[in-house]
Structure 1
């Protein structure tokens, strides 16, 4: 006489693995916990009683196949959904496309420039077409060249 029925073993293992997933990153234990469900259902609803060694082997095979399929197909999409496609850039390359506020007029031409405030800091700025931009205007950063940024004017369609 066994201590636990097969389906009870898989149910307890599933719960333990889900609890482990809470404290570990990467969704590996979550995939393995999900893989416990097919053998759990097989053990609970299997119409024929089989001796334990055969029942255990079938359950292990179902678990192994489910775990492998979960790790190959489910885990990558879950990880991509949780963590996004890529890291958000926070350095100067990440400023490209950001909006900035002109705090010192950007003068005409490529010699004088002006200053814009973006992400709490001021940058020396030039308009890509050499046009003047007044104080208070909103601009978009299109390029970062060393310690200066190249901007274009943002049109407000109010």
Structure 2
């Protein structure tokens, strides 16, 4: 068995690299991709004739070093920009929506922009189909909606619901 590993170790390191890369694609947390760099370093060490114990040490050292040194820099780069900048579904809060199916505290459908969302209201009476509403919050894949109203004295909008 040890002889096979010495002859075909590149297959093992390539497999480890591919498995770690697939794990990274599934998790997207920047751990597995950095560990896969360690597998590539060990593959290169194998190709230069390093013994198995050295290949394992290289894998461990490179995986640990990239995780400790590169991951914080990569995460900081990904989080660049103003802290108050909204992303993803947070951008939908405050947008107008049209009710496609009556919305109650339990169920309903609304169209926000070009997308159809499940919706509900926190409390109050059912909102009929065709009503124009405003997104007050997002709870998972459900939009929490309310009626926008305009204050007569100030002319500003407020949310009821």
Indicate the structure whose relative CO is greater, using CA pairs within 8 Å and at least 6 residues apart. Answer: 1
Greater C-alpha radius of gyration: 1
